[in-house]
Structure 1
Amino acid sequence: MTDIVLRDVDDILADRIRRVGDRRGWDMPQTLLHLLEQGLHVYEDEGAVRFDSDESDVLQQALEALREVPDDPGYSLIGRIRPPPGREDAGA
């Protein structure tokens, strides 16, 4: 395996990298490898977020469960758009 060497890294960036590794219990080579792999995934996919089928199914079930929350003056209105006066079909 190729060694990873970073030169001329400012102290703030080095500290951020070190903190990520510390939080996850990784040594510096593991930390750099994980950060490079994850960063490459972001750029290779152009930042697109993708879910595997299990995650997608769970998210869909959660969204459908939220649709069943009864109307009330609080949480059930979050993210819902009220129709403008005189237009009852908007937002449906």
Structure 2
Amino acid sequence: MTEIVLHDVDQMLVDRIKRVADARGWTLPRTLLHLLEQGLHVYEGDGSVRFDSAENDVLEAAMAALEDIPDDSGFALIGKVPRADEPGQ
């Protein structure tokens, strides 16, 4: 495999890469390879980001759970601020 060496990398960028490595439990070389691959997909492709299978499974489960929530007027209003011109205000 070809070795790539980066010089004069901003410390903030290095710290960000290390945080990704720590969060994923990856080595720095693996993290850099993954970030380069994903970045190239964005620039070479249509710009969309794709989930890996584990992330996709979690998202599908969350969406399925949300679909099972009953439609009730009280729950549907959580987090919404009524407009001043709405009746009952």
Normalising by structure 2, we get a TM-score of 0.58
Tell me if structure 2 keeps the 8 A contact 1:4–1:29: no
Structure 2: unaligned runs, 5 residues or longer: 79-89
Output the CA distance in 1 between the equivalents of 2:51 and 2:32: 24
Structure 1: unaligned runs, 5 residues or longer: 79-92
Using a 3 Å threshold, how does the CA distance of structure 1 residues 51 and 37 change in structure 2: closer, same or farther?
closer
Task: Name which structure has the greater RCO, CA cutoff 8 Å, separation 6+.
Answer: 1
Per-residue deviation, 1:70: 2.1
Q: Look up the match of 2:47.
A: 47
Would you identify which runs of 4 or more consecutive aligned residues in structure 1 move more than 3 Å?
A: 49-52
Q: Look up the match of 1:73.
A: 74
Q: Can you list the C-alpha shifts for 1:63-85, whole angstroms capped at 9, x where unaligned?
A: x936x7323133x357xxxxxxx
Residue 29 of structure 2 aligns with an amino acid whose one-letter code is P
Per-residue deviation, 1:12: 0.5
Output the CA distance in 1 between the equivalents of 2:50 and 2:16: 26
Q: Can you list the C-alpha shifts for 1:40-83, whole angstroms capped at 9, x where unaligned?
A: 1122223224579xx5xx48x73x936x7323133x357xxxxx
Percentage identity across paired residues of the two chains: 60
Residue 10 of structure 1 aligns with an amino acid whose one-letter code is D
Per-residue deviation, 1:19: 1.5
Q: For this pair of structures, how many residues does the alignment match?
A: 76
Q: CA RMSD in A?
A: 3.5
Using a 3 Å threshold, how does the CA distance of structure 1 residues 48 and 29 change in structure 2: closer, same or farther?
same
Residue 15 of structure 1 aligns with an amino acid whose one-letter code is D
Output the CA distance in 1 between the equivalents of 2:16 and 2:30: 14
Output the CA distance in 1 between the equivalents of 2:7 and 2:32: 13
